Structure 1
Amino acid sequence: MAKIYILHENDDWTVHLTNRLEELNLPYEAWHLDKGIVDLTAEPPEGIFYNRMSASAHTRDHRFAPELAKGVLAWLEMHHRTVFNGSHALNLEISKINQYTALEKNGIKTPKTIGAAGREEIIEAAKKIGETSFITKHNRAGKGLGVQLFHSINALEAYVYGPDFEEPVDGITLIQQYIQSSEPFITRAEFIGGKFFYAVKVDTSEGFELCPADACRIDAAFCPVGEGEHRPKFEILEDGIDPEQIDRYETFLKDSGIDIAGIEFIRDLQGEVYTYDVNTNTNYNSEAEETANKYGMLELAEFLGKALKEKFVTK
């Protein structure tokens, strides 16, 4: 029997989708790719395949899961299986350099960025970028890995040559222009089936850990705004985002072979939009969704169910 196959490496992030698939009585099988075999002498099973491999897999001791997923996706695509978030999507998931070049190719503005391999080269890149304030981040990242804000080259040197320096898993550190916003928040636009689903406002006043999944929570779900006043860290926006910006994102996703993603952007003090992250292993925040009565994993499960039915039931 044809099924929905989920390629992943994190049960905590995947169970919310499988719960929805069970709720809809859809047949599925999860492939946890921290270990496995790619049998090029065999054909893949019949079904549709959804890849949600994460760039941060190595932080869960699944160092080579993305590489294994690359092989599995190549095998599936060789046999012309229906794959959502296939090889092209994974190439962007595990490299912000790939993300930024693809975004810019599609006319989407990104912060000024320089990649560097080597500690001396990181300092050289920071000098070259010519910004008073800048941030570092890992090229293969997720979960805010390696994100640090600096206001001087001296502060960067102390970090890079000090004991707290975080070595990137792929050896590449990015030096990036710091975008100052009038308010401490960013916006994340969610897309399912290549189409805009909703936008969520994310409070950044407590730092750069912006993963919306319930399993990513650090302490409390709410952060203080003022005495006696609180606001949620994640809040789904009623008015969404600019339609022209949505169109540009949807065109970018289509051109990049991405079906499901969260795209993060920020506005500077002059109101100009900078897009800085494409997450193809997108997660959703349960409290924000309950408040707005919009449910990403349910929408995703319905999308996968429809695709399965169209390919194997409807003739």
Structure 2
Amino acid sequence: MSKVYIIHENTEWTIHLTNRLQELGVPFEEWHLDEGVLDLSKEPPEGIFYSRMSASSHTRGHRFAPEYTAQVLAWLENHGRIVYNGTRALELEVSKVKQYLELTKHGVRTPRTIASVGIKQLLEAAKEFEGRPFITKHNRAGKGLGVQLFQSVEALKAYVEGPAFEVPIDGVTLLQDYIQSPESYITRCEFVGGEFVYAVKVDTSEGFELCPADACQIGDLFCPVGEEAEEKPKFQIIEGFNDPIIEKYKKVLEANNIHVAGIEFIRDEQGVIFTYDINTNTNYNSDAETRAGKFGMLQLAKFLKDELHAEYGAVTFER
């Protein structure tokens, strides 16, 4: 029986989708690719494949999940299987450098960024930001990994020579202009099937990058989901959001064969948009969705159902 195959490494981030697929009567199977065996002499099963592989898998003990997934995606694509968020999406998921290059290619403004490998090189590169605030982040990130704000090279030096500094999993640390916003929030634009679904306003007063997943366990400043005060929720879906940046984002996604993504931007004091993240393993905040009556995982489940139907005809769970 043809079905939807979900490629991932974190069940907690996928259960909301599988619940929606069950609700819609869509047959599916999960492929948890933190480890496995791939027989190149065999053909993949019939069905459509959707990858939710995450750049932050190593923080959950799944160090080589993206590398293994890359081989599996290549195998699927080589056999002509329909893959949503395939090889190119994963390539961008694990490299912010490649994200910024693609965004810039399509006329999307990004913060000035320098990539570095090595402590000496990192400190030398930081001199380019002398006299203004800058941040560090991991190139292969997710969950706000490595995001720190600095006012000087001296402060960075003290950080990298101290116990809190963590070498990125791929060795690449990014230095980036800190974009000062008049209000402490960023905007995240969600896309399913390459189409805009909604934009969500994310309060960043307690950290730089906030994960919207209900099961997210970042801790410290980065993802205090579930601790939001009633009068000021951390995640709010923006009603009627409409900005020319949406069309640019759609072109970036189409050019890179990305079907599902959350793209984050911040406005500076002049209102200029700076885009700094493409998340191809996007999650949704249930509290914000309930308040707005919009549901990203339901939209995604419907998309996968329609695509499965278009390719293989009507298929449902065997009851």
Q: Settle same-fold status: TM greater than 0.5.
A: yes
In the alignment, is the contact (CA less than 8 A) between 2:123 and 2:153 conserved in 1?
yes
* Distance across 2 between alignment mates of 1:132 and 1:175: 12
Q: Counterpart amino acid of 2:238?
A: L
Q: 1:18/1:223 Cα in 2 relative to 1: closer, same or farther (>3 Å)?
A: closer
2:185 is aligned with 1:185: yes
In the alignment, is the contact (CA less than 8 A) between 2:194 and 2:258 conserved in 1?
yes
Q: Counterpart amino acid of 1:150?
A: F
Q: Counterpart amino acid of 2:233?
A: P
Q: Deviations over 1:199-230 (max 9, x none)?
A: 00000001124110001165563446xxxx73
Q: Counterpart amino acid of 1:272?
A: V
2:222 is aligned with 1:221: no
Between the two proteins, the alignment pairs up a number of residues equal to 309
Q: Deviations over 1:165-219 (max 9, x none)?
A: 0110000000000000000000000000000000000000011241100011655
* Distance across 2 between alignment mates of 1:68 and 1:203: 35
* Distance across 2 between alignment mates of 1:199 and 1:241: 9
* Distance across 1 between alignment mates of 2:39 and 2:255: 30
* Distance across 2 between alignment mates of 1:252 and 1:5: 25
Q: Equivalent residues in 2 for 1:274-313 (5 A)?
A: 274-313=274-313
Percent pairwise identity: 61
In the alignment, is the contact (CA less than 8 A) between 1:138 and 1:147 conserved in 2?
yes
In the alignment, is the contact (CA less than 8 A) between 2:130 and 2:152 conserved in 1?
no
- Alignment match, 1:234: 235
In the alignment, is the contact (CA less than 8 A) between 1:114 and 1:174 conserved in 2?
yes
Q: Which runs of 4+ in 1 moved over 4 A?
A: 217-220
* Distance across 1 between alignment mates of 2:227 and 2:7: 32
In the alignment, is the contact (CA less than 8 A) between 1:13 and 1:283 conserved in 2?
yes
* Distance across 1 between alignment mates of 2:158 and 2:136: 13
* Structure-2-length-normalised TM-score: 0.95
Q: Counterpart amino acid of 1:238?
A: E
Q: Equivalent residues in 2 for 1:164-179 (5 A)?
A: 164-179=164-179
* Distance across 1 between alignment mates of 2:68 and 2:183: 41
Q: Counterpart amino acid of 2:305?
A: G
* Distance across 2 between alignment mates of 1:25 and 1:96: 37
Q: Deviations over 1:77-106 (max 9, x none)?
A: 000100000000000000000100010011
* Distance across 2 between alignment mates of 1:156 and 1:15: 39
Q: Equivalent residues in 2 for 1:1-315 (5 A)?
A: 1-130=1-130, 132-216=132-216, 218=219, 219=224, 221-223=226-228, 230-242=231-243, 244-313=244-313
Give 1:240 deviation, angstroms.
1.3
* Distance across 2 between alignment mates of 1:220 and 1:128: 35
Q: RMSD over aligned Cα, in angstroms?
A: 1.2
* Distance across 1 between alignment mates of 2:150 and 2:17: 38
Q: Deviations over 1:136-181 (max 9, x none)?
A: 0000000000000000110000001111101100000000000000
Q: Deviations over 1:2-46 (max 9, x none)?
A: 110000000000000000000011000000000111211000000
* Distance across 2 between alignment mates of 1:115 and 1:25: 46
* Distance across 1 between alignment mates of 2:242 and 2:186: 12
* Distance across 2 between alignment mates of 1:39 and 1:107: 42
In the alignment, is the contact (CA less than 8 A) between 1:113 and 1:129 conserved in 2?
no
Q: Which runs of 5+ in 1 are unaligned?
A: none
In the alignment, is the contact (CA less than 8 A) between 1:150 and 1:156 conserved in 2?
yes
* Distance across 2 between alignment mates of 1:221 and 1:10: 19
* Distance across 2 between alignment mates of 1:248 and 1:220: 30
- Provide the secondary structure at the position in 2 that maps to 1:159: helix
* Distance across 2 between alignment mates of 1:172 and 1:241: 35
- Provide the secondary structure at the position in 1 that maps to 2:232: strand
In the alignment, is the contact (CA less than 8 A) between 1:132 and 1:151 conserved in 2?
yes
Q: Deviations over 1:254-275 (max 9, x none)?
A: 0011000000000000110000
* Distance across 2 between alignment mates of 1:231 and 1:82: 42
Q: Which runs of 5+ in 2 are unaligned?
A: 315-319
Instruction: Between 203-212 and 8-17, report the one with greater CA deviation.
Output: 203-212
Q: Counterpart amino acid of 1:285?
A: N
Q: 1:2/1:184 Cα in 2 relative to 1: closer, same or farther (>3 Å)?
A: same
